[in-house]
Protein backbone atom coordinates (compact mmCIF):
# COMPACT_ATOMS: atom_id res chain seq x y z
CA UNK A 1 0.00 0.00 0.00
CA UNK A 2 2.90 2.41 0.46
CA UNK A 3 3.00 2.87 -3.33
CA UNK A 4 -0.57 4.11 -3.16
CA UNK A 5 -0.16 6.38 -0.17
CA UNK A 6 0.88 9.55 -2.01
CA UNK A 7 -2.13 9.41 -4.32
CA UNK A 8 -4.41 8.72 -1.37
CA UNK A 9 -3.08 11.66 0.62
CA UNK A 10 -3.41 13.93 -2.42
CA UNK A 11 -7.09 12.99 -2.59
CA UNK A 12 -7.49 13.53 1.17
CA UNK A 13 -5.78 16.94 0.96
CA UNK A 14 -8.03 17.91 -1.94
CA UNK A 15 -11.13 16.81 -0.01
CA UNK A 16 -10.16 18.49 3.26
CA UNK A 17 -9.65 21.83 1.51
CA UNK A 18 -13.42 22.06 0.93
CA UNK A 19 -14.69 20.79 4.30
CA UNK A 20 -16.39 23.36 6.49
CA UNK A 21 -16.16 23.64 10.26
CA UNK A 22 -18.92 21.92 12.26
CA UNK A 23 -19.37 19.10 14.76
CA UNK A 24 -17.38 15.90 14.18
CA UNK A 25 -20.23 13.94 12.62
CA UNK A 26 -21.03 16.68 10.12
CA UNK A 27 -17.37 17.29 9.31
CA UNK A 28 -16.77 13.60 8.64
CA UNK A 29 -19.89 13.29 6.46
CA UNK A 30 -18.83 16.39 4.50
CA UNK A 31 -15.31 14.97 4.15
CA UNK A 32 -16.71 11.75 2.66
CA UNK A 33 -18.71 13.77 0.11
CA UNK A 34 -15.64 15.81 -0.84
CA UNK A 35 -13.49 12.66 -0.92
CA UNK A 36 -15.88 11.15 -3.48
CA UNK A 37 -15.67 14.34 -5.57
CA UNK A 38 -11.87 14.37 -5.32
CA UNK A 39 -11.79 10.76 -6.56
CA UNK A 40 -13.55 11.87 -9.73
CA UNK A 41 -10.76 14.39 -10.41
CA UNK A 42 -7.90 12.12 -9.40
CA UNK A 43 -5.19 11.48 -12.00
CA UNK A 44 -4.27 8.20 -10.29
CA UNK A 45 -4.48 4.93 -12.27
CA UNK A 46 -7.99 3.42 -12.40
CA UNK A 47 -6.97 0.38 -10.33
CA UNK A 48 -5.76 2.72 -7.55
CA UNK A 49 -8.94 4.78 -7.73
CA UNK A 50 -10.98 1.58 -7.40
CA UNK A 51 -9.28 0.79 -4.11
CA UNK A 52 -9.62 4.38 -2.91
CA UNK A 53 -13.31 4.25 -3.84
CA UNK A 54 -13.79 1.08 -1.79
CA UNK A 55 -12.22 2.81 1.20
CA UNK A 56 -14.53 5.80 0.57
CA UNK A 57 -17.53 3.44 0.59
CA UNK A 58 -16.52 2.20 4.03
CA UNK A 59 -15.99 5.76 5.28
CA UNK A 60 -19.48 6.56 3.98
CA UNK A 61 -20.92 3.66 5.95
CA UNK A 62 -19.22 4.97 9.07
CA UNK A 63 -20.60 8.48 8.46
CA UNK A 64 -24.14 7.16 7.92
CA UNK A 65 -23.93 4.99 11.04
CA UNK A 66 -23.38 8.05 13.21
CA UNK A 67 -25.22 10.69 11.17
Band (2; pLDDT cuts 50, 70, 90): confident
Burial 39-59 (b: 16+ CB within 10 A, else e): beebebeeebbeebeeebeeb
The pTM of the full predicted model, rounded to 2 decimals, is 0.91
Q: pLDDT tens digits for 7-16? A: 999 999 999 9
pLDDT value, residue 63: 95
Per-residue model confidence as pLDDT tens digits over 32-61: 999 999 999 999 999 999 999 999 999 999
Domain boundaries, the chain: 2-66
Amino acid sequence: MHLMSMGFYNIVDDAVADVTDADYTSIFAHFVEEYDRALERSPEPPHYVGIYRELGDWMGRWARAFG
